[in-house]
């Protein structure tokens, strides 16, 4: 009887230990998997093409706007450009961004 209770307690402890180890492994590796997924996403052709298209649309909106519209759009345009690496921008968008920043 005593041996069977100890066996059950040992099995429960083993199950708990294995579950806890699995949780710790997940907590350790999950941020690394997320970082790799994020890097792969930002290097994908769809992301880059979509960002370039979005930035070109913002440039067209800015150029077509009147003075009040340009003032309203400037912060949004600068923010959207700032989240994309400048070295990946085509020359026309890089020039527009530099002009808008005032350099």
* Per-position DSSP letters for 1-63, written without gaps between them: -HHHHHHHHHHHHHHHHHHHHHHHHHHHHHHHHHHHHHHHHHTSHHHHHHHHHHHHHHHHHHH
Asked if 50 and 90 sit in the same domain, the reply is yes
Domain annotation covers residue 38: no
How much is the pLDDT for 40?
A: 94
Burial class (CB in 10 A: 0-12, 13-18, 19+), 70: middle
Look-up: residue for tokens 């002009």? 99
Per-residue pLDDT for the chain (103 aa), expressed as one digit of tens each?
Answer: 888 889 999 999 999 999 999 999 999 999 999 999 999 999 999 999 999 999 999 999 999 999 999 988 999 999 999 999 999 999 999 999 999 988 6
How much is the pLDDT for 90?
A: 94
How much is the pLDDT for 44?
A: 93
Asked if 16 and 60 sit in the same domain, the reply is no
Domain annotation covers residue 40: no
Domain annotation covers residue 91: yes
Domain annotation covers residue 39: no
How much is the pLDDT for 78?
A: 93
């Amino acid at each position: 009887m005593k041996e069977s209770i100890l066996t059950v307690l040992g099995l429960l402890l083993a199950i708990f230990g294995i579950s806890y180890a699995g949780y710790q492994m997940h907590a350790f590796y999950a941020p690394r998997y997320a970082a790799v997924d994020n890097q792969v996403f930002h290097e994908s052709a769809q992301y880059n093409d979509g960002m370039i298209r979005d930035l070109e649309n913002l440039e067209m909106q800015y150029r077509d706007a009147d003075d009040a519209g340009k003032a309203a759009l400037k912060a949004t345009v600068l923010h959207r450009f700032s989240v994309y690496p400048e070295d990946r921008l085509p020359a026309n968008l890089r020039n527009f961004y530099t002009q808008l920043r005032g350099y």
